[in-house]
Structure 1
Amino acid sequence: MHWQSKQVVLPEYRRGFHLVTQHIVDALPQIRELAHGMLHISLLHTSASLSINENADPSVRKDMETFFNRLVPDENSYFIHTFEGQDDMPAHVKSSLLGSQLSLAIESGQLVLGTWQGIYLGEHRDRGGKRKLHLSLFGDPA
């Protein structure tokens, strides 16, 4: 059984949904050495999110951003947590709705994702900064 954990810092992204699959795969080349395994990804922030969705058409990422901004707009008079700006509490809500952790199976040295699936970072702040991921990898070597 092979175990490894690693912290990865993603580049700073503008507000929106961004494909980060390749950043994760590049950070853990040991994935290619596993016959079977699991990768657990934890986003170490409360105002961004992780999800799996369309990896080919960028209009899906734009539509996701539009939907979540309509669902939880920045200008909500009922939010009292506004110390860090009008986008902070809506970002926390979006993070809770989408989640901040993913677990993905590994088979034959690759993440098990559908043909059109990729890992999204949802950046819900106007200036969220660099985001940290904690990656935990375990499995049986090929």
Structure 2
Amino acid sequence: MPDAPPARVVWTDPNCPVARTADLVGDRWSLLVIRDAMDGARTFTDFVQRTGIARNILTDRLRKLTAHGLLTQVDAPSGTRKLYQLTDAGKDFFAVIVALRQWGERHAFADGEDRSVLLGADDTRVPQLVPRATDGTVLTSENTHVRRTA
């Protein structure tokens, strides 16, 4: 029996990229599934074991993330099951995951509390993400603004 088509997305704020992104991936489980896919999870069982997510919720999130183009299903080498892998859109979400991680490192842990660490290929900590203008100026909520569409 084929999967039901994804439900039409009703945008919280149709003109806002932040709202649209939150509508697509703004719940805890979706973010953790994407995080784990970036860290090598490929099978349904991988996601269950890494997150502790209930199977029915995982099924829903995998369908949603696949329907919205962040994940795709591919045949396993054995041909007996499907694997999940990030699409280009899913890989583009890496900076969002890093920003969430870095915010959490600064604000969600007490000093000295144990936490995982994101390391680059050279085994050093990933530097802080800092948005900058073309002239190198650090951008913040105080020196940027949103131009709304009509």
Give the number of the structure with larger relative contact order, counting CA–CA contacts within 8 Å between residues 6 or more apart.
1
Bucket of the pairwise TM-score, normalised by the shorter protein: under 0.3
Structure with more strand by fraction: 1
User: TM (normalized to structure 2)?
Assistant: 0.23
Structure with more helix by fraction: 2
Higher-Rg structure is 2
User: TM (normalized to structure 1)?
Assistant: 0.24
